[in-house]
Structure 1
Amino acid sequence: MKQLIKCAATSFGLLVALASLPLDAKDPPPAVETLNEARPGDSNIVRAVAMVMDRQHMSKHRLDDEISEKAFNQFMKMLDPQKIYLLQEDIEEFSGARTRFDDYALEGDMDVAIKIFKRFLKRVDTRIEMAHKYIDQEHDFSKQEKIATDPDEISYPGSTAEANDRMRRLVKYRLLLLESDKIRSDQLKAGKDEDEEDAVQDVLRPDPNEDPRERLHRIYRTTAKRWHQTDADELLEMYVSAITTAFDPHTTFMSPDTFENFIIMMSLELDGIGAQLTSEDGYTKLTSIVPGGAADKDGRLKPGDRIIQVGQGEDGDMIDVVDMKLDDVVDKIRGTAGTVVRLGVLPNAGGEMQEYSIVRAKISLDDSAARGEVVEYGKNTDGGPLKFGYIDLPSFYSANIGGEGKKRSTTADVRKIINGFRKDNIDAVVLDLSRNGGGSLEEAINLTGLFIDRGPVVQAKALGGELEIHRDTDSGVAWGGPLIVMTSKGSASASEILAGAIQDYRRGIIVGDPQTHGKGTVQTLIDLGRQLVGVSGEMGALKLTIRQFYLPGGKSTQRQGVMSDIVLPAITASIDNGEADLPNALPNNEVKPVRHYDYNMVSENMLAKLRSKSEQRIEASEGFKKLFRRIELFEKQKEENFVSLNREDFLKRRAELDAEREETETLLESQMPKKDVFKMDYYSEEVLSIAKDYVEQLRKLDLVQAG
């Protein structure tokens, strides 16, 4: 199934740390449906971004008709990705704009976006009215009927009748989904499923007391309401980003609110209750609790709980937040450390609404920072245990904390962890970057320097073609012994710089998915308000691709990523979320290698031996055997373009494996804080076995250096 049907009112990808930044009071932007033309300020933003894109993007591509056509298609996909609402006649009516988006943007004109959006709202109202009728109808689930799941394989409906029939099938599909989810939830509750209930299942579990048809009514009511709530800032962000992402997927425009949230997430110390949220079916649902935060210390909020009311202070009015946009709910929960927020909560465990008063506090996001643990595995030459220093590093960060210029950084934290490892006489370091999506370039360079004694770490090519070499300039290393770097398809950007440099220097081995994400570009953040009117944040920001990364050996990580020396099976490798899967990803190319030291701690002969031993263990592992079966079913379902709406066939397929849920669970789990620094399972045990073999191979060659 190449692109699975998802409910427009559900978003598992949006995780928001509830924090506080001082903001002046300002009027909320108007709803798009009340606009007849763009606001003057919006025109200035559109024009400014268009001029930058026309001249300063890394690709050197001009803002022309080719870009315009991509932008038009992207804008339509943002509105109606499943081709459920708009009709073919709508696309044809607006087709004149297909090659005019470039001209409109350079003129600061976004009126066409308003017109298209208003037509879309009209179609949403019509189609959702039909959805409610279909929900109340009886359906023949014994009929052999299918629904298309890959919108790229279908066209927009040619008539209202065709659109209504597509909606009827979608309602039928979602009723079967809800029935299947209920069966799965009951199995988990009864202990019939092999998987343990955990925070991910808590988040995904449906309300057992809610009638499926009523839930589907609520989903569509919320969908309609959310689209009608779309404000001018959100449309501006959609329209401008449709243009910028036509150049490459990482060049995006952020509205003032989005820019504010971006700044918050770049810090590791925040004010708030310490929770991460998602929007689901009109409810604001907790996905995880930040360890050490106010909510964690209070102890009452749990993953899966739904927030339906928010009040300020000890006696402020409780405001209903059901069907409210997630950003608006977050704004109400944010506040200064020491102040009180009251939450009306429907517990995931069931029961009546509970009101919790929580005192906002300073939050240190340690779950996003480096953590280490010494793990004993296997026997050493003296008969004692082999000791591995495992480091979990979910991001590369650098932030001033405490308000007095005190800085916290990835490199400083990891150095401290390694110093502790050395006291425990570890035999190897295992650096886990499998959940690391990137972050600070400077920190990636400095952290690489903990394992190499000076030298080039990454090359960056600018718009003019000139190459800049970024080096580790500090002499000495924090750890000179065996190094194993764990990666996945989710390891991106700064993670790939470190992993690629370690590989080029032959300093350690890379273990994990066949390749990393493949993001080999550099973005700069342009604060449009500061540039245009001298006030930071007032006009949002443009994240612009301006450089491309190259490793010391001359290869770029763009699209192809860093290849693992030893590949381990994983579902993540099968999910289409790598750079090469993204539309308009820039091409891969190479530059001349730059001279760098060869540590000679890895050889092809050594890797062949390590791979052979790993393959033998994997073949005999029951855990990996089950994983291979899941991967096989996942791949099979992922390639399907149609799904049967026959109840028996549908439930049988879902009982084998639900590719959509598997992908959702995998991605959600990668975004949630890890409770344990290191968890022993069949996968991590194989990593340790590889690390053990690696240490033994180096000792045979007398290449193990003192830590």
Structure 2
Amino acid sequence: MDSRFPARTFAHLAALAGLGVACLTVPATAQVTAVAPAAAAQAETETATAPPQPTAQDRHIARLIAQLIPKYHISTMALNDEISERALDLYLDRFDPLKLYFYQSDIDQFKAYKDKIDDMVKKGDLTLAYSIFNRFTQRVDERVAVALELLDSEFDFSKEDYIIVDAEAAQYANSPEEARERWRRQIKYALLDLRDDGTEGDEARDLLRRRYKRYARRFKTYDNDDLLEAYLTSVTSAFDPHSTYMSPSTLDDFNISMGLKLQGIGAALREKDGNTVVMQVIPGGAASLDERLQPDDVIVSVGQGESGEMVDIVEMPLQDVVSLIRGNAGTVVRLGVKVGGKGTLEIYKLVRAQVELEQSAARGKIIDHEMPDGTKQKIGFINLPSFYMDMQAARENQADFRSSTRDVRRILMDFKTQGVQGVVIDLSRNGGGSLTEAINLTGLFINRGPVVQVKDSGGQINQYNDEEPGTVWSGPLVVQTSKFSASASEIFAGAIKDYNRGIIVGDPQTHGKGTVQTLMDLAERLFGTQRANYGALKVTLQQFYLPDGESTQRDGVAADIVLPSLTQKMDVAEGDLKYALETDRIDGARHDIYNLVPTDLLTELRQKSEQRVKADDEFIDLIRRIALFVKQKDEDTVPLEETAFMERRKELDAQKEEEKEELEQETDQEVYRDTFYNREVMNITGDYIEGLQRQQLVQSR
């Protein structure tokens, strides 16, 4: 893979090619798979097999990973005792994140190896991986047996009770009695959750019986590839969350998916605590066009066609969930969704489709915006969902190949002919794309100069410049960002900020994805050919830096003017991932400084915006909802007394209903949506235009 492209990684190319459920940025918990559609059904009837055992090839792969990861990883960190301890934590969390299965005595026994995994992997010794897994499957069988027994008993929902929902606050059980009590509360919570969705009595209990039995069967079908991938990914992800090992079978699935261009809903999914969580919605896909499915939503069931049975997918392996959701373009799939993972179950009916470039392309609109004082400002608004390029056409030197830079250039030229006074570029849902495009697009707004610096694991720094002299738009520029603005978006926004070329408005900071990954085929590394399949190592080997030398890693790009939003409180940023690399800096590069963000004007813009936000009823209501969201997100426990449980759920449901109504008011894929939030962005832009003109710093051109 061309490492010049940013860390949307190898899988990003698959997503742009139309793979409906390919992951764009693949953390350790995510999968990119192309499983046969019958896989999920087969999992229900799979018979138990003998526990897997490591093979000679598995041991050889482990030794190879131990050599490659410290050699190529950007951190230059050795495979040492610190990595070993992290790897053990990640491996245990992979199987038992909520501490529901292992006993504390199990953990104490495993902890004896916390500083030995590094040495074991170097020797190709995988015995610990199998020992932990076999103990886990033993505990799963024990817990499921208890759960099935408890489901035959009665529960008192009028009694004051609670369940711990924060994994950090939870403790492993010390005895069978403690484990049984944990599971009594788990089942009580699950029954209340189902009751809130209208499923009660024998129907609810039968559903949970099937769910728990499926969970137990799931691990009976684990094979060598599954265990090898889980264990070695725990080791590689101890370096950073984007470095993973792809087993031979997963690599086969990935290559098939790349070739077949399978269709789906257009979303990146990951598994978290037994749930299927939406990681990102791909611009131009079915989910993006529908607009309801959002990052952090949890999918709990999947139905085929208009009326097929809704299959419960809680605790179902992600690859099986993917196979249920994926299908031919034009067919219907129904998703049972809990918005944000909480609240009432919603059923979303989606028509599967390939991701269409046209729907994810840059689009512009001229807004005649009325300012609070009654004056009018003519503002050009550009919606840019990704930094895209038709790479095949570009390689073939086609004169009219499609790219984000070419499309934005055309839009800007049109804006100029119609006399716009300022431009807003909306990157609030832009997860990145081509680094080349981020550089070229920045060049539309600066004369020439450095846009991004890239450092490799050897410490070598390469500088990537806009080489084309002149600008297409030299007037007032506002860049709208959010916590979902990642990778190439951060390169563009950061360069605009370093050059003092325009102002950044949105969440306090962008996503913070400042690294580059590449995929190494292990057989090719060993033999110089892909004649065998040893899987692949995805390793973080480069890091981005802005012109002034700051890295976009973890800290992202800070907004000049912050607006209230729910997204800024979601745990969806790079810094929320375990063992995310820290930020650092290098020497800055020499570049022009545009006098377009005077300190006094920026202070004035902030003050005016704050006053409007404080007086706006819709922002006041949003701030109330943000406070409720944060309160419930930070809770370690949930009440299990029915009245208290339902009151808490009612609060959540009311908030989700308000958000749903807001979405319904936003018609399909508008370039600019006339919401209170966007109106405030326009107010800021109008003030910015007026301020620059007042100080005679710029003319709209």
TM-score normalised by L of structure 1: 0.78
Letter in 2 for 1:250: H
The match for 1:42 among 58, 71, 96 is 58
- Separation (CA, whole Å) in 2 of partners of 1:295 and 1:548: 30
Q: Quick one: which of 545, 552, 557 aligns to 1:562?
A: 557
Question: What letter is aligned with 1:306?
Answer: V
Q: Is the 8 A contact 1:370 1:391 kept in 2?
A: yes
Partner of 1:657: 652
Paired-residue identity, % = 44
Q: Please name the residue that 2:157 is paired with.
A: 141
In structure 2, C-alpha distance between the alignment counterparts of 1:370 and 1:33, rounded to whole Å: 52
| Kept in 1: contact 2:475–2:700 (CA 8 A) | yes
SS state at 1:426 partner: coil
Cα shift at 1:208? 10
Give the match for residue 302 of structure 2: 306
Q: Which amino acid aligns with 1:646?
A: E
Confirm or deny: 8 A CA contact 2:20 2:354 kept in the other structure. no
Partner residue, 2:521? 527
- 1:373 deviation in Å? 2.8
Q: Which amino acid aligns with 1:78?
A: R
Unaligned segments of structure 2, at least 5 residues: 1-14, 23-31, 291-298, 338-348
SS at match of 1:98: coil
Residues 16 and 172 (structure 1 numbering): CA distance in 2 closer, same or farther, change over 3 Å?
A: farther
Assess if the C-alpha contact under 8 Å between 1:513 and 1:567 holds in 2: yes
Deviation sequence 1:302-344 (CA, Å, 0-9, x none): x99934599xxxxxxx999986755357568878xxxx78979
- Aligned-partner residue type, residue 47 of structure 1: R
Once the 2 structures are TM-superposed, how far is the Cα of residue 73 of structure 1 from its aligned partner?
0.8
- Picking from 435, 441, 463, the partner of 1:469 is 463
Other-structure match for 2:586: 591
Does the aligned pair in 2 maintain the 1:503–1:510 contact within 8 Å? yes
Other structure's SS at 2:420 match: coil
Alpha carbons of structure 1 residues 542 and 414: separation in structure 2 relative to 1, 3 Å: farther
Question: Contact 1:484/1:691 (CA < 8 Å) preserved in 2?
Answer: yes
Structure 2: distance between partners of 1:404 and 1:467: 26
2: CA distance between counterparts of 1:439 and 1:61?
A: 28
Q: Distance in 1 between matches of 2:624 and 2:288?
A: 39
1:278-324 residue CA offsets vs partner (Å, 9 max, x unmatched)? 69999999x98986889999xxxxx99934599xxxxxxx9999867
Is the 8 Å Cα contact of residues 302 and 311 (structure 2) preserved in structure 1?
Answer: no
What SS does the aligned partner of 2:454 have? strand
2:171 counterpart of 1:155: yes
8 Å Cα contact 2:365/2:382 also seen in 1: yes
| 1:300 corresponding residue in structure 2 | none
The residue number in structure 1 matching 2:94 is 78
Q: Which residue of 2 aligns with 1:690?
A: 684
Tell me the CA shift for residue 694 of structure 1: 1.0
Is 2:289–2:669's contact at 8 Å kept on the other side of the alignment? no
SS, match of residue 430 in structure 1: strand
Aligned match of 1:394: 385
Residues 391 and 254 of structure 1: is their aligned pair in 2 closer, same or farther, counting only changes over 3 Å? farther
Q: Secondary structure at the match of 1:598?
A: coil
1:57/1:345 CA distance change after superposition, 3 Å: closer
What is the CA distance between 1:380 and its match in structure 2?
A: 13
Quickly say closer, same or farther: Cα 1:18–1:67, change in 2 above 3 A. closer
Deviation at 1:689, TM superposition (A): 1.0
Decide whether the 8 Å contact of 2:289 with 2:668 is kept in 1.
no
Contact 1:367 1:674 in 2 (8 A): no
Q: For 2:189, give the aligned amino acid.
A: Y
Secondary structure of residue in 2 paired with 1:457: strand
Q: 1:162: how far off? A: 0.9
Q: Give 1:419's aligned amino acid.
A: M
Task: State the 1:24 CA deviation.
Answer: 13
Q: Would the aligned equivalents of 1:514 and 1:564 in 2 still touch at CA under 8 Å?
A: yes
Q: Report how far residue 98 of structure 1 moved.
A: 2.1
- Offset of residue 404 of structure 1: 8.4
**Separation in 1, partners of 2:265, 2:544:** 35
Counting matched residue pairs gives 635
Partners of 1:679 and 1:645 lie apart in 2 by: 41
Cα gap change, 1:531/1:90 in structure 2, threshold over 3 Å: closer, same or farther?
same
Residues 303, 309 of structure 2: 8 Å contact kept: no
Match of 1:17 among 11, 17, 20: 20
Cα distance, 1:473–1:673 mapped onto 2, change above 3 Å: farther
Identify which of 436, 447, 451 aligns with 1:442. 436
User: Which residue of structure 2 lines up, in the alignment, with residue 371 of structure 1?
Assistant: 363
Q: CA deviation at 1:263?
A: 7.5
**Farther-moved stretch of structure 1 (121-130 vs 594-603):** 121-130
1:506-517 correspondence to structure 2 within 5 Å: 506-517=500-511
CA contact (8 A) 1:333 1:341 kept: no
1:284 touches 1:308 (CA, 8 Å); kept in 2?
Answer: no
User: What CA distance in whole angstroms lies between the structure 1 residues aligned with 2:202 and 2:687?
Assistant: 53
Say which SS state the counterpart of residue 369 (structure 2) adopts. Answer: strand
Cα deviations by residue, 1:175-220 (Å, 9 ceiling, x for unpaired): 22233345xxxxxxxxxxxxxxxxxxxxxxxx89994334333433
Partner of 1:552: 547
Give the match for residue 340 of structure 2.
none
1:118 to 134, 139, 150: 134
One-letter amino acid of the structure 1 residue matched with residue 479 of structure 2? V
Q: 2:615 maps to what in 1?
A: 620
Cα pair 2:20 2:355 within 8 Å, conserved: no
User: Residues 88-237 of structure 1: matches in 2 within 5 Å?
Assistant: 88-182=104-198, 211-237=203-229
Structure of higher RCO (CA pairs closer than 8 Å, 6+ residues apart): 2
Gaps of 5+ in 1: 1-13, 183-206, 298-302, 311-317, 350-355
The one-character-per-residue Cα deviations of 1:412-449 (angstroms, maximum 9, x if unpaired) are: 33223333333433222211111222232222212211
Structure 2 vs 1, CA of residues 295 and 488 (structure 1 numbering), >3 Å: closer, same or farther? closer
Cα RMSD, aligned residues only: 4.5
Match of 2:446 among 452, 464, 478: 452
SS of the residue 1:147 aligns to:
strand
Q: Distance in 1 between matches of 2:466 and 2:597?
A: 21
Q: Structure 2 length normalisation: TM-score?
A: 0.79
Among candidates 222, 230, 234, match of residue 238 of structure 1: 230
In 2, the alpha carbon distance for the partners of 1:623 and 1:536 equals: 61
**Equivalent position of 2:478 in the other structure:** 484
Matches within 5 A, 1:288-307: 306-307=302-303
SS of equivalent to 1:524: strand
Q: 1:140 offset after TM fit, Å?
A: 1.3
Report Cα offsets for 1:373-421 as digits up to 9, x if no partner: 333312799x995332222223223343579835543323322333333
What's the offset of the Cα at 1:522? 2.7
Contact between 1:32 and 1:232, CA under 8 Å: does it hold in 2? no
- Give me the whole-angstrom Cα distance separating, in 1, the residues matched to 2:68 and 2:667: 38
Question: Helix, strand or coil: the match of 2:424?
Answer: strand
In structure 2, C-alpha distance between the alignment counterparts of 1:613 and 1:24, rounded to whole Å: 54
Tell me the amino acid that sits aligned with residue 608 of structure 1.
T
Contact kept in structure 1, 2:191 and 2:200, CA below 8 Å: no
CA distance in 1, matches of 2:64, 2:667: 39
Task: For residues 476-500 of structure 1, give each alpha carbon's deviation from its aligned partner in whole angstroms, at most 9, with x where no partner exists.
Answer: 2222221111111222222211111
Deviation at 1:257, TM superposition (A): 6.0
Please report how far the alpha carbon of residue 523 of structure 1 lies from its aligned counterpart in structure 2 after TM superposition: 2.4
Q: Distance in 1 between matches of 2:332 and 2:532?
A: 32
